[in-house]
């Protein structure tokens, strides 16, 4: 809470571009702030940059869900899933290290293109990660103690979820089939076809099952992005958003003109 109170006035004093490091504190590859700036300036993001954005958002979703599930397992008395999942999360963090890390997604596109060979590493991860999810389910899904501590706990009905303004997993767990990527597609989500897992009871066990399935769907989206990703630019050439490269600046004064 103290961090939020400190960051809000600091962010308000900075331009849209200088706010990015502060927003990355909450979630590294968040694109909504960048998308808001792009819509205000009527800027078209190159197609390759859109695919790269979606790719890293889904990598982040896997990382976030695996952390949420395994720390929750620790809360109810199981430490093994936490240790196993962190081995996979380290691989995901290496993908971030392969690009520029913080502020990778920015208004107008992404900071830089994918390094040579990174797509191969990501593809090899997707081929083996499904078996890691299976291992997690073997330990938890049908475990008697796990179900005793989750089934019918914290139940929220669909009308209650809507009245209380729920979103994401909490809303879908209550039986409402709503996902922003389907309801209001952004970037290239309208060209991808993941399934939307939906619960029935709205209890903690449903939320667990949905996160498990959403990790599988994230793998599916990553594979689609790798297969469909085109070549081309990774930043807009709109100088209101993206300055020219250093090499172009040294060759042409006109390249700096807005």
C-beta of residue 63 within 8 angstroms of C-beta of residue 245:
no
Task: Give the pLDDT confidence score for residue 183 in this predicted structure.
Answer: 87
pTM of the full predicted structure? 0.84
Task: Give the pLDDT confidence score for residue 1 in this predicted structure.
Answer: 44
For CA atoms 116, 185, 32, 65, the dihedral sign is negative
DSSP conformation letters of 109-156: EESSPPPTTHHHHHHHHHHHHHHHHHHHHHHHTT-HHHHHHHTTSS--
Task: Give the pLDDT confidence score for residue 151 in this predicted structure.
Answer: 93
Structural domains of the chain, ranges and CATH numbers in brackets: 10-103+115-238 (1.10.645.10)
Enumerate residues 6+ apart whose C-beta is below 8 A from 219. Answer: 58, 62, 126, 129, 130
Per-residue pLDDT in tens (0 to 9) along the chain, 258 residues: 445 565 666 666 666 566 666 665 455 456 667 777 788 888 888 999 999 999 999 999 999 999 999 888 888 888 888 888 888 888 988 888 888 766 788 888 888 899 989 999 999 999 999 999 998 898 888 889 899 999 999 899 999 999 999 988 999 999 999 988 888 888 899 899 889 999 988 999 999 999 999 999 999 999 999 999 999 998 888 777 777 777 777 776 655 554
For residues 179 and 182, give the distance between their C-alpha atoms in angstroms, rounded to a whole number. 5
Task: Give the pLDDT confidence score for residue 2 in this predicted structure.
Answer: 47
pLDDT tens digits for range 159-169: 999 999 998 89
Task: Give the pLDDT confidence score for residue 3 in this predicted structure.
Answer: 53
pLDDT tens digits for range 36-54: 778 888 888 899 999 999 9
Tell the residue number behind the tokens 């240790």, with chain if given. Answer: 83
């Amino acid at each position: 809470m103290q961090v939020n109170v400190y960051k809000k006035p600091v962010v308000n004093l900075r331009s849209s571009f200088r706010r990015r490091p502060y927003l990355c504190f909450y979630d590294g590859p968040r694109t909504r702030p960048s998308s808001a700036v792009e819509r205000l300036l009527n800027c078209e993001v190159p197609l390759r940059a859109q695919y790269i954005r979606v790719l890293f958002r889904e990598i982040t979703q896997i990382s976030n869900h695996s952390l949420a599930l395994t720390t929750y397992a620790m809360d109810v008395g199981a430490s093994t899933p936490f240790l196993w999942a962190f081995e996979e999360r380290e691989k995901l963090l290496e993908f971030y290290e392969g690009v520029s890390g913080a502020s990778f997604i920015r208004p107008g596109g992404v900071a830089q293109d994918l390094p040579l060979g990174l797509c191969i590493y990501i593809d090899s991860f997707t081929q083996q990660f499904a078996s890691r999810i299976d291992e997690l389910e073997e330990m938890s899904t049908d475990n008697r103690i796990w179900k005793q501590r989750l089934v019918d706990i914290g139940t929220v009905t669909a009308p209650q979820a809507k009245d209380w303004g729920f979103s994401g997993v909490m809303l879908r767990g209550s039986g409402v089939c709503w996902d922003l990527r389907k309801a209001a597609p952004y970037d290239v989500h309208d060209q991808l076809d993941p399934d939307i897992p939906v619960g029935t009871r709205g209890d903690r066990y449903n939320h667990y099952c949905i996160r498990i399935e959403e990790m599988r769907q994230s793998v599916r989206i990553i594979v689609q992005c790798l297969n469909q990703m085109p070549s081309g630019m990774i930043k807009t050439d709109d100088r209101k958003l993206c300055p020219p490269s250093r090499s172009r600046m040294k060759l042409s004064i006109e390249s700096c003109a807005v």
